[in-house]
A and B are shown apart, each in its own frame.
Chain A
Amino acid sequence: MTGERTEVSIWREAALVAGKDLRIEARARVALGQILPFGLIVILLFAFALDPDRGVLTRVAPGLFWIAVLLATLLAVGRAFAIETHHGARDGLRMTGLDGGAIFLGKATAIAVQLAALEVVLGVGVIVLYGVDVNGIGVVVLTAVAATVGLAATGTLYGVLAAGLRLRETLLPLLLLPVIAPVMLGATRAFEDGLGGVPGDAWPWLGILTVFAVIYTTIGVMAFGALWEEAA
């Protein structure tokens, strides 16, 4: 890591990594062909579990939406680090000399973009299938942005932590889900206010989501380099 590295170059490097991951995704279409349909089937299964005729679905739609996103996050994170395991990709990325923080920002951005796309489709699915009204679109969008950044940051951090480990597929959910529980809680409450309730009530939750996103993005930029070196 060199001292004269400017903020601009970190963002440029991050954009390179994000571009690489998204290009791989555009060609392999795993998120589109597997993770997205997975999210949709989860939304459908909730309707089987909670009788759609009694209005339960509409009431609990925000929570169901975020559970579906959380589950999809686990898959997206696993996928983001699986693409580094083939053809010596991880060593290749290490040898580029890119800053650890930049790689973190790049991979997190790629995950965030995929999650955002997933959320749009799932959101439409929830509105159509569960019959949800949207009172405050601004609050909903801001909540989704803050929550997605938080999920992508923690996901990337734990993704690299578990990368290269034996048992990483089973370990990742146990590590990640308790940490992102506050995101689930905050995003669900904010969505409740933004969809059926009073959008103005969502601000404290938006605050906690933003704090979460900032804290874990900062930790990720600082710690990713060391973890990336250790990942076998």
Chain B
Amino acid sequence: MSEAERDDAGLPRDELLAPMLRRVIGVVTIVSLVALVLFGLWGAPTDEVQGDAQRVMYLHVPSAWLAYLAFFVTAAASALFLWRRTRAEVWDRLAGASAELGVMFTGLALVLGSIWGRPVWGVWWAWDARLVSTALLFFLFLGYCALRRIPAADPVGGAKRNAIAALIAFVDVPIVHFSVEWWRTLHQQATVFNPQLNPQIHGVMGLTLWLGTIAFTLLYVYLLDRRYRLAVLEDGRADRELERAIAERISTSRGVVA
């Protein structure tokens, strides 16, 4: 790596977002999350049927949305890596970072859904189509993350292998969806993305849900940037540490001679 690509501390400069942009996104994320807490707990009216339990929705739905977004980003980045003309390390790291966040948000969606389902459906878990496919999605990409954790002898070959694994897993998503959908169907129909676009939920409730979606998406972008940076620093860490150790050794031995 040339000197120009390193900062003063000798670390690679490779960043996903410009530092200024990252700071702005970070601040907006915190503000929107605080607003979500206020609207979710106090601003939005209590649901007539489900009571306060319905408020879990403001976290559950954004988590589920992010799960899909994150896995889509993983698949798209993997495809871009596999395509020779766009092959670059950035896509491999982005795919890995996004998959980890996707697994986290999928897990969050499952747990929150369970907490919501207990008072509303009377059970922690139901063998409903969307629940089962989400659980399978969780394990599909958990496996992908486990695969990524195993270091490859050849970095480019390993990245190619990971990209293919992500796409194989992604192809399975619609198959899982349809097979499970045929198997059972019980979940309430999607409310916001209803094609008829009837305002079926109270205005403030809808606003809060959108707020949650935006806040979580910003959080995802911010965490994606941080995870990407971590991956950059992980790569070549051993080399840098060796370099530093040698430099230290040289400087101490010079001191002895002097």
Contacts and interface: CB of A to CB of B under 8 A. Distances in A.
Contacts of A161: 147, 161, 164-165, 168
B146 A215 contact: no
Contacts of A186: 179
B171 A215 contact: yes
B158 A208 contact: no
Contacts of B146: 171, 174-175
Given A167-B150, A204-B182, A219-B168, A212 B161 contact: no
Given A174-B139, A178-B139, A212 B175 contact: yes
Overall SS of chain A's interface? helix
Contacts of A219: 167-168, 171
Interface residues of B, number: 30
Interface in A127-181: 157-158, 161-162, 165-167, 171, 174-175, 177-179, 181
Interface string A216-230: 100100010011011
Overall SS of chain B's interface? helix
Contacts of B143: 171, 174-175, 178
A232 interface: yes
B154 interface: yes
A230 B160 contact: yes
A182 interface: yes
Contacts, number: 79
A166 B152 CA distance: 9
A175 B182 CA distance: 24
B179 A226 contact: no
A185 interface: yes
Nearest to A226: B160
Chain A contact patch, size range: 20 to 34
Contact of A182 (B144, B169, B176): B176
A211 B171 CA distance: 12
Interface of A: 157-158, 161-162, 165-167, 171, 174-175, 177-179, 181-182, 185-186, 189, 204-205, 208, 211-212, 215-216, 219, 223, 226-227, 229-230, 232
Given A175-B165, A178-B143, 18 more contacts: A157-B168, A158-B168, A161-B147, A166-B150, A171-B147, A175-B144, A177-B139, A178-B169, A182-B179, A182-B180, A185-B179, A211-B175, A219-B167, A219-B168, A219-B171, A227-B164, A230-B158, A232-B152
Interface of B: 136, 139-140, 142-144, 146-147, 150, 152-154, 157-158, 160-161, 164-165, 167-169, 171-172, 175-176, 178-180, 182-183
